[in-house]
Amino acid sequence: MISAAAKRLGSLLADSGRSLSVAESCTGGLVAGAITSIPGSSRYFRGGVVAYHNSVKTSLLHVPPDLIAGHGAVSREVALAMAEGVLSRFRADLAIAVTGVAGPGGGSRGKPVGTVWVAVVARGGVRHAHRFRFHGGREAVRREAVRASVDGAIAVLQAEPREGG
């Protein structure tokens, strides 16, 4: 369940004293909504950007236009750049970015509906990006993208060594 995963993510962030920011495209704010549905999330959640249009990705998140032109908005490269941009903009310790094709239209042979890239970047150089292919309608794709985003952030936090330990 998303709320259980969001609670787990919140606990990990709060316990470590770390902060989180998000950059979203196809999820349109649902990742931030899942995180902020948890009471006390203001202790660790800095904020987010819904960068639905490419011009927002470039202007607010500083994604290079040639990256979008060369790889497409739904790509590993753009997801990582979005995460790095929101990490910097909000001065957070950890950032999640999600970009994809939720449907029902907009897909292509190389990037069919349900293709979603989730990136998680941590201050200090940790950079992960994973491509998913979700099935179902628009809301199912968006819901699964939120789940993958939260789970990805949890995995990064659990894999990092604790300070002083």
Q: Give the tens place of pLDDT for each residue, 146-159.
A: 999 999 999 999 99
Q: Is residue 155 part of a domain?
A: yes
Please report the pLDDT score of residue 142 as a whole number.
98
Q: Is residue 20 part of a domain?
A: yes
Question: Average pLDDT for residues 39-58, to the nearest whole number?
Answer: 97
Q: Is residue 32 part of a domain?
A: yes
pLDDT at 164 over 60: no
Give the tens place of pLDDT for each residue, 99-118.
999 999 999 999 999 999 99
Residue 133 half-sphere exposure toward CB, CA atoms < 13 A: 6
Q: Is residue 17 part of a domain?
A: yes
Q: Which residue has the higher pLDDT, 2 or 16?
A: 16
CATH code assigned at 103? 3.90.950.20
Domain count, the chain: 1
Please report the pLDDT score of residue 1 as a whole number.
53
Q: Is residue 89 part of a domain?
A: yes
**Residue 42, amino acid:** S
Q: Is residue 62 part of a domain?
A: yes
pLDDT at 17 over 50: yes
What are residue 100's phi and psi, to 5 degrees?
Answer: -175, -175
pLDDT at 160 over 90: no
Q: Is residue 164 part of a domain?
A: no
Domain that holds residue 37: 2-159
Q: Is residue 165 part of a domain?
A: no
SS3 at position 22: strand
Look up the pTM and report it: 0.95
**Residue 75's Cα: distance from chain center in Å?**
13
Q: Which pLDDT band, with edges at 50, 70 and 90, does 125 fall under?
A: confident
